[in-house]
Structure 1
């Protein structure tokens, strides 16, 4: 954690038998996902755990013997949401149908922070004639939500797919258009979902276009078509993420690559060992996680409905876990 995060948090180390549903989970599935990214962890204690994980230990014993669950709280309520990999229809060339560009990141956007707003990018001349278009899609609303998800697949006219992943943003803070509709009184909090927002924007094209511009943040992409179609999109660790086993977290509080036990409540309770392999501009806080639901429309519908309370515990190497405790608690 950063020094600022440390100064504002409360930390508690607990035992595995205090994790609700721990014994019933598929620890082998979690261990497989952990192996996908643990080699990228550089600290000696993590590297030692990763080397042992490669020797195919008994999965549940591996986690119980070498880790301790750590509850990290920053005073904010826990919140679990879901994200997915959308599929859009598009082309590598602009046509009468495919008119909305998916942009790569301009060099100056990496240097000038923050850079132009969404409104400036879409309404101004800055992006024109520079060859920054990776592809063109047929729906500006789906493109907006592609930017929220951070990765996706574009179905080309010949049936093949072009995969894009997050390259960077313009540096402006993300503003939720769902929250804006609630603020205006258009919908209540419990009514808002991705489908509800999309339908409202399409029913109100002029006001909808202006609503999308309310979010000044703009995401740029890179082509990642080298990732096989049967693998998940690339997460923040530049490795494929796994449906219902990978989560996006705030790296100020959670080490990327660490196992995380989630106890998500709500209509579809979830007790599962996840691996923190991704980040997101809206994922901020010690008890904040975004669950990767999968690819396609069905995953998108489920992800859009997920907004639940609960609690999450980071599994840390034993010495690292106890080192986080204040001296008075040891």
Structure 2
């Protein structure tokens, strides 16, 4: 499981879920390009349908010469033929189009000219979309500067919980907004101090946003950095709200799963395993949770009533799309870049088109990604089992 990368600039020590719980180009190559986030542009309007020639495609009998490699701060992009990409002809790439349209709400200069065509193709047959991708883009194998093409894929998700506006019944675990005095003390109080030091408790008085019933659920929310909470409003209506990352207390993140493993208290450091230990040791809950001094402060985002909540915003500033958005090291892959990924593990095989829309402090390196699995328990189960080899190909305009 595990980071929201940022979900709206959330910290990504949470880029690992299970892992977080337990623990040269030649002289003729292009010069290094150090990439900062590309500036946002206004939403793109689709052109008239006549502007795209849907019959245009590259003949399989003619393969154009490959361009030069691209050297980025954290990676080396090596141009390849489309035939190198596994599963290209079988992936339902139309499922990635909504994520691509989201990236086109904040396109960088490289993508601004193509976004109108991407918008026009939103409802086109999948074969036309696939043909356009081949015609307009060039695939590059992403490698480290040491020419290593393999890396690591992990997963993250957005918890979906139940909460209360008031401290009542079992709902006694507060989620806090940013305290007014946060900037006056760095690092701020630890998790244990927040629970026990009068000055810390006084600084958070009145900053309670919602209350949860389970302190471990609150810890999951802190690790993921963002989450959905179903609350009952004073008028009796139930609605979803999003607890979005706002800040931290600047304390280090320590894994409570690692703490349990190191003391041989458990052998299964998944959240079900941790919760099972808590059920057997209810008097030690605070002792366990205090091992992680980092606390996340939230801000509430209202969501439309009666509709499926959109995904949380990633570091690109657009909502994430379940199973089609990834967090990357932006020094390796710029935000908004379509990426072909291949990852095979004991239970999960992924050959698919995804969009680089998020990042995180744990997501570092040339071939490194965190896969956004979506919201809720099923997404958490998928994210929790992802820790497997990864290959990536960046798709870049010709």
TM-score, normalising length: structure 1: 0.83
Confirm or deny that 1:49 pairs with 2:94.
no
Cα deviation per residue 1:204-251 (whole Å; 9 max; x = unaligned)? 334443333333332221111235641333222343222211122233
Q: CA deviation at 1:2?
A: 5.0
Cα deviation per residue 1:148-185 (whole Å; 9 max; x = unaligned)? 22222212244322222222323344333333434444
Q: CA deviation at 1:97?
A: 1.7
Match of 1:80 in 2: 153
Partners of 1:314 and 1:118 in 2: CA distance: 41
Deviates more, 1:263-272 or 1:23-32: 23-32
Match of 1:260 in 2: 339
> Highest Rg: 1 or 2?
2
Q: 1:7 to 1:85 in 2, by over 3 A?
A: closer
Q: Which runs of 5+ in 1 are unaligned?
A: 319-330
Q: CA deviation at 1:118?
A: 3.0
Confirm or deny that 1:177 pairs with 2:250.
no
Alignment of 1:104-143 (within 5 A): 104-109=177-182, 114-124=187-197, 125-128=199-202, 130-143=205-218
Partners of 1:121 and 1:74 in 2: CA distance: 44
What SS does the corresponding residue of 1:120 show, helix, strand or coil? helix
What SS does the corresponding residue of 1:54 show, helix, strand or coil? helix
Partners of 2:169 and 2:304 in 1: CA distance: 29
Cα deviation per residue 1:66-124 (whole Å; 9 max; x = unaligned)? 24334132678622222222122211111232111111123544676544433333433
Q: Which runs of 5+ in 2 are unaligned?
A: 1-32, 37-70
- What is the RMSD of the two structures over their aligned residues, measured on CA atoms? 2.9
- Contact between 1:105 and 1:167, CA under 8 Å: does it hold in 2? yes
Match of 1:327 in 2: none
Confirm or deny that 1:242 pairs with 2:321.
yes
- Contact between 1:248 and 1:279, CA under 8 Å: does it hold in 2? yes
- Contact between 2:368 and 2:390, CA under 8 Å: does it hold in 1? no
Q: 1:38 to 1:109 in 2, by over 3 A?
A: farther
Cα deviation per residue 1:240-288 (whole Å; 9 max; x = unaligned)? 2222111222333222222122211112111111112223343333322
Match of 1:232 in 2: 310
In terms of fraction of residues, the more helix-rich structure is: 1
- Identify which of 124, 139, 142 aligns with 1:68: 139
Deviates more, 1:91-100 or 1:54-63: 54-63
Partners of 1:304 and 1:206 in 2: CA distance: 27
Partners of 2:289 and 2:34 in 1: CA distance: 33
Q: CA deviation at 1:7?
A: 5.3
Deviates more, 1:285-294 or 1:133-142: 285-294
- Contact between 2:153 and 2:369, CA under 8 Å: does it hold in 1? yes
Partners of 2:144 and 2:183 in 1: CA distance: 33
Deviates more, 1:137-146 or 1:75-84: 75-84
TM-score, normalising length: structure 2: 0.70
- Contact between 1:16 and 1:69, CA under 8 Å: does it hold in 2? no
Partners of 1:235 and 1:30 in 2: CA distance: 16
- Contact between 1:232 and 1:243, CA under 8 Å: does it hold in 2? no
- Contact between 1:261 and 1:315, CA under 8 Å: does it hold in 2? yes
- Contact between 2:73 and 2:332, CA under 8 Å: does it hold in 1? no
